[in-house]
Amino acid sequence: MTAPARDRALDLLKWLAMLSMVMDHLRYVGWHANWLYVPGRLAFPWFCLAIAVNVVRTGRRDIGSAIKWKYLTWLAVFSVIAELPYRIYMAGEVTTLNVLPTLALGLLVAQGGLSRSWPARGLGIAALAMGVLFGPHLMFGMYGVLLPLAFVLVLRTSLWLAIVPGIVCLLSNEWPKIIDGMLWGDPISIGALVACLLAPLLGLAILHWRPAFDVWPMRRWAYLIYPVHFLLLFGLRQLIE
């Protein structure tokens, strides 16, 4: 048995999602760069799309789709590890947990929606209930928990449904402020609205592209990027203040 070949397009999507995330968080270093909010709207939906791709691929190999315990465990472990660096860097801005608990619940919901395994379905229902009950404490809230499942719907049916995760992505962000700002003609709000709606299509386009260049595989060590980048940006902010 040989290991499956790496999907360079998927690795590229993950790297671009990481870049978008870092750009978003650069807004809190102290520079006047609120415009980074716009490309920052791409990070979360692209991470959710990567989760959906992995869930769908597992479902194709095994219709029972056993629960991806290793994937879930890594998300849970780094949810705990990342919380302190997240709170250190985002002090004064923190209103929710870091993003990894949302992704972990989203993984369970997406897998439960696809699987014929009753344990997986049960966990998916429980994760969705937690997303509803604890939505105010989760980054991107209840709709963020639903976004991987919305991507699974697109991947399993038709690309024409990509507007569905686009709408869910908008709802998972601060959509009342975005809509209000758009009505006032605020360019950042308009850009954020467009980014949320187009992020699924852009992500799917990247996945269907076959890069002619090598892409550094993003393996489990990449989980470290999330807590470490908070500490590095905190250090940068201390230097420039």
Distance CA(47)–CA(59), nearest Å, equals: 19
What pLDDT was estimated at residue 227?
A: 98
The number of folded domains in the chain is 1
The amino acid that residue 163 corresponds to is I
Determine which helix (DSSP H) or strand (DSSP E) holds 44, and give its type and residue range: helix 43-61
Q: Which domain holds residue 157?
A: 8-234
Q: Which two tokens stand for residue 229?
A: 């980048």
Q: What is the dihedral of CA 192, 197, 198, 199, to 10 degrees?
A: 80
The string of pLDDT tens digits covering residues 49-87 is 999 999 998 766 555 455 678 889 999 999 999 999 999
The string of pLDDT tens digits covering residues 132-175 is 999 999 999 999 999 999 999 999 998 889 999 999 999 999 99
How far separated are the first and last CA of the chain, in Å rounded? 55
Could you tell me if residue 101 is inside a domain?
yes
Nearest alpha-carbon partner for 70 in 85, 54, 89, 56: 54
Task: Tell me the average pLDDT of the chain.
Answer: 92
Could you tell me if residue 74 is inside a domain?
yes
Q: Which string of DSSP letters, residue by residue, matches 215-231?
A: -----GGGGGHHHHHHH
Rounded average pLDDT over 188-198: 97
Rounded average pLDDT over 19-47: 95
Could you tell me if residue 1 is inside a domain?
no
List all residues 6 or more positions away from 2 whose beta carbon is below 8 Å from its beta carbon: none
Burial-class residue 90 by CB neighbours within 10 Å (0-12, 13-18, 19+). Answer: middle
Q: Is 141 left (phi over 0), alpha (psi -120 to 50) or beta?
A: left
Say what the pTM is: 0.93
**Please, are residues 166 and 196 in contact by the beta-carbon 8 Å criterion?**
yes
Could you tell me if residue 3 is inside a domain?
no
**Please, are residues 97 and 103 in contact by the beta-carbon 8 Å criterion?**
no
What pLDDT was estimated at residue 59?
A: 64
Could you tell me if residue 115 is inside a domain?
yes
Confidence of residue 2 (pLDDT cuts 50, 70, 90): very low
Which has the higher per-residue pLDDT, 71 or 102?
102
Could you tell me if residue 62 is inside a domain?
yes
Confidence of residue 182 (pLDDT cuts 50, 70, 90): very high
